[in-house]
Structure 1
Amino acid sequence: MSSVLYDAQGPRAKRRNVLFTVVFLVALAALLWWVYRALDEKGQLEWAQWEMFFTGTEAWSTYIWPGLKNTLTAAALSVLIALPLGAVLGISRLSDHAWIRVPAALVVEFFRAIPVLVLMIFGLALFAQYTDVSTDDRPLYAVITGLVLYNASVLAEIVRAGILALPKGQSEAAMAIGLRKGQVMRVILLPQAVTAMLPAIVSQLVVIVKDTALGGAILTFPELLSAASTMSAYYGANTIASFTVVAVIFIAINFALTSFASWLERRLRRAKKSTGAVLTADDNQPNAGATAGGGTF
């Protein structure tokens, strides 16, 4: 049996795939065993390297929680600024007026082409030379500035692509009934585009959360990853344990964000499907009688 995408495998192909699968599993098991032995020989799997995360609160209250709070603060503020700014830039790129469309396109293309780390460094220098922001707050401001400028540009392209993906007939029909361009965008296009754009937007939000670590690596911003380095040095170079705990926290945050977005997308799609009213035969009966009598139409 064959399908549209591929032909059904024969006996030789099936045997070959089984052989490849067995070889891959054996190689994977050997790699995992080698990693386990290497970590065990270095003493990274001993209970002494992990007990501070399970038997006390010092590691959590002194290192992990302050770093996590700074990470979430920078990410949340960046999202709150980048989302509306990206939407404005994306819609501006669709404007019929060149004096709006061209500057928006230049801003988006410029900041989208610069690495976010470079934007953070420029932001730190900017706040140091031209503002009165304190030394302790400059890394946070610089991280937020870099994340906002870069991700707003990327989100602008996501918004523009999501709106352009909608059928043009919807805009034409809305204008035919007298809606202005702003009303068409606000009432017709954006509500539909948001649902289609949610996966891409959430992916970019996950990137924002992870990119806060760049501030800790370069700008001495005390976020979660830099806290793991300090914690590892304090507890006797338990590098694997510290960074494993931090990695699990990052995974949990991003998984929760993705799960919420998936739930929201399903809810929006169900809401759109349930907006149409269904008429029964009894509902149509008066119209049918009026039509038969010739008095309505």
Structure 2
Amino acid sequence: MSTLLYDEPGPVTRARLRSWSVVALLVIGLAVGLVCWRLWGQGQFEEDLWAPFLDEPALRTGLVGGLVGTLQAAAMAMALALVVGFAVAVARLSPSRVVQAAGATFVWFFRGPPLLILILFFFLAFPMAFDIDITPFWALVLGLMLYNGAVLAEVIRAGVLALPRGQEEAAVALGMRRGTTLRYVLLPQAVRNMLPAVISQMVILVKDTSLGFVVSYGELLRYGNTAIQVLDNPIQMYLVVALIFIAINMSLSRVAHALEKNPVASGLRRRRTVAESR
């Protein structure tokens, strides 16, 4: 049996893939074992280095506080970035060349520089230029919003342009305006297709909240760095912080998978599209 792009692997190819998978797992296991053996030889598995995570309530309270700070900044930046992304994507899809140029300029300007520069701009340069005080929280959120909003705008635009041309032509034939066509015909269909890319960008956004330490924002990594100065256990602390970030991002991925496979949401989108096209 074949698909559009490739033939399904035969018995020989499947056996070869299984063999290479076993070899890869053995190599990875050997590498992990070697690292653990080296850490064991250096005393990194000593109980004193891991005990504070169980015995020190202040440490757990601080990690929870840092986690809350990370989630607050990420949630606010996500919401604002989605709004900005949709607005800029609509501008990029506008029939007006002036509006298209404005959207393209926004994407070019805010997607180009490193995110760290945007955060430092809002924390240092913006207050000096406009005499407006900005807290570390908002300096981080505004930087994340503009950078990720520019990236999401291109994701959303690509999702709409990937739809069959006949969708827009049918809407125009029914007398729909451009804005109505985007709102009720193109965007509802494009959302499901671009959801994995949007969630991937949200995962990147969550990890980028760790840049808040440069403006002294109380996020998870900054608290971890502070605790290391007292406990002198950098490997253990960074491992715990990394595991927390992994748990957050896995949760986001599961939410995206559930939304993508949700038959109720999919049915609502299909019914709305059919109803509007009649």
Superposition TM-score, scaled by structure 2 size? 0.86
Contact 2:80/2:145 (8 A) holds in 1: yes
Cα 1:186–1:15 shift into 2, 3 Å:
closer
Contact 2:189/2:269 (8 A) holds in 1: no
Q: What is aligned with 1:289?
A: none
In structure 2, what is the Cα distance between the partners aligned to 1:189 and 1:128? 41
In structure 1, what is the Cα distance between the partners aligned to 2:173 and 2:271? 26
Q: What is aligned with 1:215?
A: 212
1:103 Cα shift?
1.1
The reply to whether residue 51 of structure 1 matches residue 51 of structure 2 is: yes
Q: What is aligned with 1:4?
A: 7
The reply to whether residue 198 of structure 1 matches residue 195 of structure 2 is: yes
Q: What is aligned with 1:288?
A: none
Larger Rg computed on CA atoms: 1
Contact 2:110/2:147 (8 A) holds in 1: yes
In structure 2, what is the Cα distance between the partners aligned to 1:233 and 1:152? 36
Q: What is aligned with 1:170?
A: 167
Q: What is aligned with 1:245?
A: 240
Counterparts of 1:99-248 in structure 2, within 5 Å, are 99-129=98-128, 130-133=130-133, 137=135, 139-216=136-213, 218-235=214-231, 237-248=232-243
Cα 1:161–1:233 shift into 2, 3 Å:
same
Between stretches 219-228 and 268-277, larger displacement belongs to 268-277
In structure 1, what is the Cα distance between the partners aligned to 2:239 and 2:57? 17
Q: What do the CA deviations read for 1:5-26 (whole angstroms, capped 9, x no partner)?
A: 556538xx968974x6665555
Please report the RMSD computed on the Cα atoms of aligned residues, expressed in angstroms. 2.7
Contact 1:232/1:238 (8 A) holds in 2: yes
Aligned-pair identity (%):
38
1:56 Cα shift?
4.1
In structure 2, what is the Cα distance between the partners aligned to 1:265 and 1:21? 29
Q: Read off the aligned partner of 2:54 and give its amino acid letter.
A: F
Q: Read off the aligned partner of 1:109 and give its amino acid letter.
A: W
Cα 1:242–1:23 shift into 2, 3 Å:
same
Q: Read off the aligned partner of 1:53 and give its amino acid letter.
A: F
Q: What is aligned with 1:30?
A: 30
Q: Read off the aligned partner of 1:74 and give its amino acid letter.
A: A
Cα 1:105–1:222 shift into 2, 3 Å:
same
Q: What do the CA deviations read for 1:173-220 (whole angstroms, capped 9, x no partner)?
A: 11212222111111111111111111111111111110011121x323
Q: Read off the aligned partner of 1:71 and give its amino acid letter.
A: T
Count of residue pairs brought into register by the alignment: 268
Contact 2:119/2:140 (8 A) holds in 1: yes
Q: Read off the aligned partner of 1:250 and give its amino acid letter.
A: F
Structure 1 unaligned regions, length at least 5: 278-297
In structure 2, what is the Cα distance between the partners aligned to 1:176 and 1:21? 53
Q: What is aligned with 2:256?
A: 261
Q: Read off the aligned partner of 1:219 and give its amino acid letter.
A: V
Cα 1:70–1:90 shift into 2, 3 Å:
same
Q: What do the CA deviations read for 1:6-49 (whole angstroms, capped 9, x no partner)?
A: 56538xx968974x666555543432232112212222211221
Q: What is aligned with 1:64?
A: 63
In structure 2, what is the Cα distance between the partners aligned to 1:140 and 1:14? 53
Contact 1:67/1:223 (8 A) holds in 2: yes
1:98 Cα shift?
1.2
Contact 2:184/2:273 (8 A) holds in 1: no
Contact 1:52/1:58 (8 A) holds in 2: no
Superposition TM-score, scaled by structure 1 size? 0.81
In structure 2, what is the Cα distance between the partners aligned to 1:21 and 1:73? 40
